[in-house]
Amino acid sequence: MTAESSRPRVPQGAGSARPGYNYAFLDEATKREIRRKLLKAVAIPGHQVPFSSREMPLPPGWGTGGIQVTASLVGPADVLKVIDQGADDTTNAVSIRRFFAETAGVETTTSTRRASLIQTRHRIPETPLAEGQILVFQVPLPEPLRFLEPRESETRRLHALAEYGSAYVSLYEQVARHGRIAQSYDYPVMVGGRYLMRPSPIPSFDNPKLDRNPALLLFGAGRERRLYAVPPYTPVESLSFEDRPFAVERSPQACDLCGATDSFLDEIVADDAGSRLFACSDSEYCNERQRRLGRSVVAP
């Protein structure tokens, strides 16, 4: 290897990246390490790969895992979308989008269709994803067996031996207590029939979207230092009992702003009298529908 080829190649962006920082904030060696770990994660769908998570300029719990994955992947040709609970205009989404616009000079968008790279917290967009797109999840707790097994050494062994009986114990407890599987978010899934995975705290409403999704799904847990992945078209099955099948909970309402009946709704207290408004949690999807209906767009 020559000195020339071992020198990090810094992408030259179309937009201007902020001087004084390396492209996309992280140094090239760190981004390379994350990409290598992501390749491993893609090779073993659903398996948690440890990585050397770095300090980021925001606290753990605010998406440091997702940001590091995005930073390692983003390039000048990318179009970046960032959502928080489905919305493009919440503090965290705005800040992370601006962070990459500044440090990587990348083009940003709110359009799910236009984006090549989407970082998300707690939702999968309503607009179906396509081949070639990458969805990056921010993950607070990556270990699906943590509820019943506090020891990391033991959970690793359970994954290695595919001993997932205890995962059903927590489902059993829910049915025994509530008469149904009451878990409405972070609902555990089996990836490719092999690894048990936490899909991050997305609503179980979004679980069916994980199954055989044409996009690449990447998961980053910054504080817990784990990466995992669901490659395109991987079968993802939500855990259930034979006589208590997995069912998506749908609200009986339609969106008050766009009338959608097929989207995940947020319940919003509208005034001091306690009246309530139901609106799509996916702001772009909602705005798009309002526009097509010829209404003046109201942000959910």
* Residues known to be catalytic: 46, 255, 258, 280, 286
Tell me whether residue 89 or residue 163 sits nearer to another protein (CB atom): 163
DSSP H helical segments within 10-164, as ranges?
A: 28-43, 64-73, 91-104, 152-160
Question: Which among 229, 65, 285, 286 is positioned nearest to 277, based on CA atoms?
Answer: 286
Cβ 155 to another protein shortest distance, Å: 14
Q: CA-based diameter of the chain, in Å?
A: 71
Residues of this chain that interact with another protein (CB under 8 A) are 148, 157, 161, 163, 165-166, 168-169, 172-173, 175-177, 240-244
Cβ 199 to another protein shortest distance, Å: 20
Place of tokens 């390749």: 39
Query: How far lies 34's CA from each of 37, 60, 67, 177, 190, in Å?
Result: 5, 17, 11, 42, 24
Query: How far lies 246's CA from each of 175, 181, 189, in Å?
Result: 12, 8, 11
Structure token pair of residue 106: 């990348």
Cβ 172 to another protein shortest distance, Å: 5
Query: How far lies 243's CA from each of 23, 239, 240, 249, in Å?
Result: 52, 12, 8, 17
